[in-house]
Amino acid sequence: MTNELQAPEKLTPENLAPEKLTKKDVRTAWVRFYFAQEIAHSFDKYLAPALTWALTPVLKKLYKDPKDQAEAYQRHLLFFNTQLSWGGGTITGIMASLEEARAQEVYKQEDITIDDDLIYNTKSGLMGALAGIGDAIDSGTIQYILIAIALPWAQAGNAIGALFPFIAFSLYQLGIGNYFAQLGYKLGRTAAGEIVGDKMKGIIEGLSIMGLFMMGILASSYVKVSSSLKFNLSGKEFVIQDILDKIMPGLLPLAVVAGVYLFFTRKGMNVTKALIGLTIILGVLAGVGIL
């Protein structure tokens, strides 16, 4: 029995034709980027290797000529860095859309309007803007809402209180990233306009308001400040904390949170200085019997 070596398939105009991308292809690219985002992180390319790996199945369907595939890989191995779901999802979909249009131009031997510069400039122009939105919403709002929901469970000693924020946040990013990837593929370069459009601005504003409510709930529940000051006047004892509770319960915790907020707005987000200053102020007030 002899083993025969098969010759590589001969390239013809028929088998060079790019295949039509499907929603599954875009979803697969997004999921690959989701899991590989930080694995191939390097200082010179940042997340570019992860994006290239994510797009590999897409590029193989679009470019049948190994030379065209190699050029596509090189296009996406340039510096790239953005937030995972809002930036990564949207740009993954947009890149699939642009590469599909370019592959048709290559196959039909038309003038290449979607050149390397256009593809990279689209990425570089969107990655910072979308990252800013994504960080503010995901890391600055959604994450803390989920933590606030789970805190009572954690305080009660329930393990779900520790696991829920991580699991829920991961599933949220996986789902919303797929939505943005499909949107990016469907709308191409106009997807970014959809994300920052009026409808999405309303959703972002609503989430921001919800986040503020959750921060208020956390502050009132977990910031404990009370006054021990009391005095006698005409034989009647006055307890300052009781008086404050009648005027506005939680007034002192609110004053502390407001003071820290004002410090951050005027001096910048210097947490260490805020903690040291707060410790000194509260320690002095406690020492003289006010708190």
Percent of the chain exceeding pLDDT 70 equals 77
Mean pLDDT over 42-56 rounds to 91
How far is 161 from 154, CA to CA, in rounded Å? 4
pTM of the model: 0.67
pLDDT at 11: 54
For the four alpha carbons of 269, 38, 43 and 126, in that order, the dihedral sign comes to negative
Residue 82 has pLDDT above 60, yes or no: yes
pLDDT digits (tens, 9 = 90+) for 174-216: 999 999 999 889 887 565 555 555 555 565 566 566 556 666 6
Least reliable range by pLDDT among 42-56, 232-246, 256-270: 232-246
pLDDT at 7: 45
C-alpha R_g of the chain: 28
Least reliable range by pLDDT among 69-78, 182-191, 236-245, 254-263: 236-245
Percent of the chain exceeding pLDDT 90 equals 29
Question: Six-digit token pair at 22?
Answer: 């499907």
Mean of all residue pLDDT scores within the chain:
80
Higher-pLDDT residue of 190 and 94 is 94
Q: Which of 173, 172, 191 is nearest to 83 (CA)?
A: 173
Residue length, the chain?
291
pLDDT digits (tens, 9 = 90+) for 103-154: 988 888 888 888 888 888 888 888 888 888 888 788 878 888 888 888 888 8
